[in-house]
Amino acid sequence: MSRLRELARNARFTASFVAGALATDPAWLVLQAARRTPARVSAVVVPAVERVLGDGTTGPAGRLRAAWARGDVSALRATTPRTRTERRVRAALLGQVALLEPEPGPAGVPAADAPGGAADRAAAGIAVHHHLTNSLPHTQSGYTLRTHAILLAQRAAGTRLTATTRPGYPLTVGAVTAHGTDVVDGVAYRRLVPRSLPADHRRRFDDGVELLVRALEDARPDVVHATTPWTTGDTARAAARRLGLPWVYEVRGLPEETWAASHPTPEARDRAAASERFALVRATETELALSADHVVTLSGTMRDELAGRGVPRERITVVPNAVPDELLDTAAPSPAEARARLGLRPGRALVGTVSSVVGYEGLDTVLRTVARLRSQGHDVAALVVGDGVARPGLLRLADELGIAEHAHLPGRVPRDLARTYLAALDVVLVPRRPDRVTRLVTPLKPVEAMAAGRPVVASDLPALAEVLSPLDGGAPAGVLVDPDDVEAWASAVGGLLAEDATRAALVAAGRAVAAERTWSRLVTRYTDVYARTTRRRVA
């Protein structure tokens, strides 16, 4: 497709997307646009927009959006729309509900193990198509970094790869001049752009399936590999079934738990977890995992959760978060060297993290820990790199704690620069809040921190204990702390800053754990899954 045709297609779709958002949720559209401005601008603009527009639960259709935000599907169904806007909003929200109704049908049949070793299977050159929610270069997150590392490792292992992203992406996140295919480090991400974005969610789904079917017909894979959430997985399943292809579902998170954890108070989180919306998403995710030919997930905690939902353990493979070999092979700069490169003030300790800035990450604990340490006479500063809905609140909290001049929150940074920021830290903090999602889902950043030779202090949660421990079990290579005990955080961090021998021992243990978790080591787990799923027989 020529560049002019790409831009024309992008313009047509974007106009349709914006028109739909203006008709159903203009406050959401304005807020999303504000959040995609540069970090220094969004820190000022987003709170101002939120004060003016609120959260979208006021105005003509506010009661409908409020019901959906609570997860109260019964109230949504029972509401009688009084205006044209309310009719549109109600129809759009009920369209999402309709897509969440799990389809009946038998679970996938386990494939027989293929003979031969992993090397034989890799040499067979299985062709795999990855269908993704988003990707580099337009989105930088743990999800996209994991995806990209997997694709690079699979390509190096002999797997033939193609990849697509969800319909409309990345235009729906503001990249209106995006190319039809982005190539990053030699990996091609093909974009599926519909002609328009219909108001009817079933039509949107069908259009997405049709676009993916065409991409699969071009790619001719042996197996389709999709990831959570259900919107991505359901599209991949429908397209794979249309073409008679096996499909693998990689459960990287629990979307219903993440949604519940996004609510601001414990009471609101409890109500969300008891809602019909929560139950519908959970049922849909479970049904997708049951229907897949094989399931991949990130941890033992996640495997146990899926098995508890009825997915046979023999059809679940754990592929934990890992790092590229070069992260271990290349010496990271010292904290002082990294801070000099970044122009950060020298001569004082720096603690914090590189993370998505959302509520359940518990990043207020970083600021509270630094405030407590400074009150005890320690010359220490906070660094929180990343962006998200919680960033404005963190900036306000730094002011309230009186540490604004000792708290550096640069917002989004390029992925290469993110590693330099990670190296600038004397201690990496992973202060996740004790929600169900954080007890089950393992993040990527602790592994990267250990590989870079940085000591880790983390919330004492099952998923974090697992990600910090050797793959065959053993003591965690990090300090685990009660998530809610700021005094304990200050004590743990202060102790590591003061005790060189303790810090060095923790770094050595962390490097050993990270050395087990490299993509070159773990990629054979994928080739085993694909060989089983396709029932390929190797001579």
- pLDDT tens digits for range 249-296: 999 999 999 999 999 999 999 999 999 999 999 999 999 999 999 999
Q: What is the mean pLDDT of residues 208-232?
A: 98
Of the pLDDT bands very low, low, confident and very high (cuts 50, 70, 90), residue 62 is confident
CB atoms within 10 A of CB 1: 11
Distance CA 374, CA 380 (A): 6
The answer to whether the CB of 135 falls within 8 A of the CB of 147 is yes
The CA-CA-CA angle for residues 224, 213, 175, to 5°, reads: 90
Q: What is the mean pLDDT of residues 315-341?
A: 94
Give the per-residue pLDDT at 63: 87
Give the per-residue pLDDT at 56: 56
Burial of 539 (0-12, 13-18, 19+ CB in 10 A): exposed
Has residue 37 got a pLDDT over 90? no
Has residue 121 got a pLDDT over 50? no
Has residue 115 got a pLDDT over 50? no
Has residue 39 got a pLDDT over 80? no
Reference 323, options 521, 36, 81, 171; nearest CA is 521
Residue by residue, DSSP assigns 189-215 as EE----S---SSHHHHHHHHHHHHHHH
Does the fold of domain 325-517 match that of domain 118-322+521-534? Answer: yes
Burial of 466 (0-12, 13-18, 19+ CB in 10 A): buried
Structure-token pair, residue 107 = 């679970």
Of the pLDDT bands very low, low, confident and very high (cuts 50, 70, 90), residue 346 is very high
Reference 517, options 162, 15, 233, 146; nearest CA is 146
Of the pLDDT bands very low, low, confident and very high (cuts 50, 70, 90), residue 78 is very high
Reference 171, options 8, 39, 390; nearest CA is 8
* CA 121 to each of CA 297, 369, 539: distance values in angstroms, whole numbers, following the listed order: 21, 50, 10
- pLDDT tens digits for range 135-164: 999 998 999 999 999 999 999 999 999 999
Give the per-residue pLDDT at 245: 97
CATH architecture of 325-517: 3-Layer(aba) Sandwich (3.40)
The answer to whether the CB of 128 falls within 8 A of the CB of 164 is no
The answer to whether the CB of 246 falls within 8 A of the CB of 227 is no
Give the per-residue pLDDT at 122: 42
Give the per-residue pLDDT at 536: 41
Instruction: Look up tokens 């729906």; give the residue.
Output: 172
Has residue 119 got a pLDDT over 70? no
Give the per-residue pLDDT at 537: 31
Taking all residues of the chain, what is their mean pLDDT, rounded to a whole number? 91
Q: Which of 40-44, 287-291, 488-492 has the lowest mean pLDDT?
A: 40-44
Distance CA 121, CA 114 (A): 9
3-state helix, strand, coil in the chain (%, to 5): 55, 10, 35
Domain extents in the chain: 3-99, 118-322+521-534, 325-517
**pTM of the predicted structure, to 2 decimals:** 0.91
The hierarchical CATH code for the domain 118-322+521-534 is 3.40.50.2000
Q: Which of 12-26, 219-233, 352-366 has the lowest mean pLDDT?
A: 12-26
- pLDDT tens digits for range 459-489: 999 999 999 999 999 999 999 999 999 999 9
Distance CA 354, CA 411 (A): 10
